[in-house]
Chain A
Amino acid sequence: MTAQLPAWAAFVVALLVVAGALLAFIGSLGLLQMKTFYERVHPPTMGTTLGTGLVLIGSMIFFTVLEARPVLHEILIGAFMTLNTPVTYMLLVRAALHRDRAEGSDPLEKPTQSPPGR
């Protein structure tokens, strides 16, 4: 089922893919474990940045060695995720902040030292 690779390439690809999957799993576990929404935003970014990056590098090495030519189209997904993850999470946190403020509980507000301009 799995194609035949040189041993070193198989080892490297397996290591990268398992590390990436482990990071994605730890990120999702953190999403499950954290208490508030603003803490919950942090863990999935482990899976979306480093986890995706490691799996993509593993895939690039696999297809490059398998087809004996440079196969680099996984960079597309990498660039796409790198650009889009911050944008979506910023939008989402801004929406959450807006909803919290609309309900009268501002998580950024500190009772002692609130600057007058905000």
Chain B
Amino acid sequence: MSSALIAAQVLVALAMACALYRLLRGPRAQDRVLALDTLYVNAMLLTLIFGIRYATTLYFEAALVIGMLGFVSTAALAKFLLRGEVIE
């Protein structure tokens, strides 16, 4: 099980690398925002797998916070792309 969890972490890290490449290269702003959202979700998964690996529920709160911040930041960035300002 330990090796399976490490394999899962490597997979999620590769996914984060893909999203990071798209974030750096993405031709337009909306591609970058989408890549940032994917990066957030993958980071949340990585944190959850850390929690399973070290058998502690402490990582759960971190994953919850990462998910919430990812939602807020993606929504704010989409609003910015739509209107040019976040709070109007």
Contact = CB atoms under 8 A, between A and B. Distances in A.
Contact of A21 (B12, B30, B38, B68): B12
Interface residues of A, number: 54
Interface residues of B, number: 50
Main secondary structure of the interface of B (DSSP, over half): helix
B18 A29 contact: yes
A58 B9 CA distance: 14
Contacts of B28: 37, 96, 99
A101 to B, nearest CB: 11
A34 to B, nearest CB: 10
A74 B68 CA distance: 14
Interface in A67-109: 71, 73-74, 76-77, 80-81, 84, 87-89, 91-92, 94-96, 98-99
